[in-house]
């Protein structure tokens, strides 16, 4: 879990993912010699702060978003949300501005509900703040801010160790309306003819999806993937014997939104471990669900 811990600690709020991009590129460079197959690494101006790893003759692409939720400093001591973070007075927020490191506290106006910060000085307008990372690990769980989606990124990186054919795409802006998957998908589709996707992201523990019972295969959220594709995935999952659960939601979204609306016939399915305390500094995931997530991705990338 040392890799996951490192990933969780790097600030990468939507729109400013560059620190995590650099970490990924460095990690790939340091690690790939030990991987079973070598990918083509694509990361240049055509892809902003995204990274593509292309293995062999790909049939399926895995999308894992780099960015996280957070807050932007507005005027006075106001904060504006990046994505949809939980907000509780007292949350510890960190960042950096022209005057240096910031380690401040989230405040909530009791009357207006307006978000703000308490700090010994004013923070530069437009500065991004993220949750302070308190990474906690037990025999059975990991807990930290930003498991959504550093765990999806971790899953994608670990998948690379054995992957023979496939694209691994690290995307940006997912938590705040999207903005990179449209062009990533276009490039992947037009260059490799790929139109199958798996969304390596984290979902919710709910009344129907329980911690420790396996990775969740989402049958739908606010969008509905094509039934025929999801049925193929379910058959492979059942065949594999890997523990998994079926999720059915009416809300929520992912990088799949941009695939669904792309001008190419993408099939997609969201497959991810469930977490508790969603979008808070205390996101909690069962290690068994992490293990089954990686195992299922390994099988699916072979079978699909």
- What residues make contact with a copy of itself under the rule CB under 8 A? 14-16, 18, 45-49, 72-76, 80-82, 125-126, 128, 173, 176-180, 182-183, 185-186, 195, 206-208, 219-220, 222-228, 246, 248-250, 258, 260-265, 267
| Nearer CB in complex with a copy of itself: 180/280 | 180
| Nearer CB in complex with a copy of itself: 128/283 | 128
Provide the minimum distance between the beta carbon of 217 and a copy of itself in the complex, in angstroms, as a whole number: 9
| Nearer CB in complex with a copy of itself: 89/224 | 224
Provide the minimum distance between the beta carbon of 273 and a copy of itself in the complex, in angstroms, as a whole number: 18
Provide the minimum distance between the beta carbon of 263 and a copy of itself in the complex, in angstroms, as a whole number: 4
Cα dihedral 109→113→114→120 (10° resolution): 30
SS3 199: strand
Provide the minimum distance between the beta carbon of 136 and a copy of itself in the complex, in angstroms, as a whole number: 29
Residue 153 DSSP code = H
| Nearer CB in complex with a copy of itself: 221/283 | 221
Residue 113's Cβ-count burial label (10 Å; 0-12, 13-18, 19+) is exposed
| Nearer CB in complex with a copy of itself: 157/185 | 185
Cα separation of the two ends of the chain: 28
Give every CB contact of residue 284 below 8 A, 6+ residues apart in sequence.
141, 142, 143, 147, 211, 275, 276, 277
Question: Which residue carries 């890799």 as its tokens?
Answer: 3
Contact indicator for 256, 270 with CB cutoff of 8 Å: yes
Contact indicator for 68, 132 with CB cutoff of 8 Å: no
Provide the minimum distance between the beta carbon of 119 and a copy of itself in the complex, in angstroms, as a whole number: 17
Q: Mutual orientation of helices 287-303 and 227-240 as an angle, nearest 10°?
A: 110
| Nearer CB in complex with a copy of itself: 128/282 | 128
Closest CA to 123 of 70, 69, 84, 78: 78
Provide the minimum distance between the beta carbon of 37 and a copy of itself in the complex, in angstroms, as a whole number: 26
Provide the minimum distance between the beta carbon of 101 and a copy of itself in the complex, in angstroms, as a whole number: 18
| Nearer CB in complex with a copy of itself: 246/291 | 246
């Amino acid at each position: 879990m040392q890799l996951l811990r490192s990933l969780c600690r790097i600030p990468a709020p939507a729109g400013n993912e560059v620190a995590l991009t650099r970490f990924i590129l460095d990690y790939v460079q340091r690690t790939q010699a030990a991987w079973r197959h070598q990918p083509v690494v694509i990361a240049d101006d055509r892809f902003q702060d995204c990274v593509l790893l292309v293995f062999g003759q790909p049939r399926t692409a895995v999308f894992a978003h780099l960015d996280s939720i957070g807050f932007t400093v507005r005027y006075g001591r106001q904060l504006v949300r990046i994505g949809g973070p939980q907000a509780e007075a007292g949350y510890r927020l960190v960042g950096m501005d022209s005057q240096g490191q910031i380690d401040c506290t989230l405040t909530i106006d009791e009357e207006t509900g307006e978000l703000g910060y308490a700090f010994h000085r004013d923070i530069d307008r437009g500065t991004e703040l993220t949750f302070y990372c308190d990474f906690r690990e037990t025999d059975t769980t990991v807990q930290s801010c930003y498991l959504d989606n550093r765990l999806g990124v971790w899953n994608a990186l670990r998948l690379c160790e054995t992957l023979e054919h496939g694209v691994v795409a690290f995307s940006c802006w997912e938590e705040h309306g999207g903005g990179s998957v449209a062009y990533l998908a276009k490039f992947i589709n037009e260059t490799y003819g790929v139109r199958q996707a798996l969304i390596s992201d984290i979902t919710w523990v709910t009344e129907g999806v329980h911690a420790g019972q396996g990775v969740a295969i989402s049958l739908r959220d606010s969008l509905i993937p094509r039934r025929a594709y999801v049925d193929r995935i379910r058959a492979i999952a059942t065949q594999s014997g890997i523990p998994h659960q079926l999720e059915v939601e009416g809300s929520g979204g992912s990088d799949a939104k941009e695939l669904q609306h792309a001008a190419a016939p993408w099939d997609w399915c969201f497959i991810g471990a469930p977490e508790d305390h969603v979008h808070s500094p205390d996101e909690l995931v069962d290690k068994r669900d992490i293990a089954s997530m990686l195992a299922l991705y390994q099988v699916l990338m072979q079978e699909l």
